[in-house]
């Protein structure tokens, strides 16, 4: 079955540092890929997505590129802020007979220190 593997956290960075959170996936078909973010005390929010190979999703300074050859969707940000502290989830959807059912990775906690 489908699965998503992302780097374990916590990831602790200083403000303005460069961020990479690795994500790789296995899927039987051709999935869409997502990054969701969960801020403290809030629900999951879609951060960005990509629906086909070589697409780049971007939002709030974060970006991730759909790499089919390496089955990866790594999240990057050039300069993190304290307000980016949250848990980040990589996910995929194959959208076959199950609406947009999502398969999630285990989550990576990011802590940004001033």
Partner 1 sequence: GAGVSQSPRYKVAKRGQDVALRCDPISGHVSLFWYQQALGQGPEFLTYFQNEAQLDKSGLPSDRFFAERPEGSVSTLKIQRTQQEDSAVYLCASSLARGALQAENTEAFFGQGTRLTVV
Residue ranges that bind partner 1, judged by CB under 8 A = 4, 32, 36, 41-46, 49, 51, 89, 91, 93, 95-107
Nearer to partner 1, 49 or 74 (CB): 49
Half-sphere exposure of 108 (CA within 13 A, CB side): 25
Least Cβ distance, residue 46 to partner 1 (angstroms): 5
Least Cβ distance, residue 34 to partner 1 (angstroms): 9
Nearer to partner 1, 75 or 102 (CB): 102
> Which of 53, 6, 52, 50 lies closest to 25, judged by CA?
6
């Amino acid at each position: 079955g489908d699965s998503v593997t992302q780097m374990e956290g916590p990831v602790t960075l200083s403000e303005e540092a460069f961020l990479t959170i690795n994500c790789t996936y296995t899927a039987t078909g051709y999935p869409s890929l997502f990054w969701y973010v969960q801020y403290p005390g809030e629900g999951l929010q879609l951060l960005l997505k990509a629906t086909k190979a070589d697409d780049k999703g971007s939002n709030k300074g974060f970006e991730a590129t759909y790499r089919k050859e390496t089955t990866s969707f790594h999240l990057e940000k050039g300069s993190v802020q304290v307000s980016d502290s949250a848990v980040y989830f990589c996910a995929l959807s194959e959208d076959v007979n199950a609406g947009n059912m999502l398969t999630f990775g285990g989550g990576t906690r990011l802590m940004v220190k001033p």
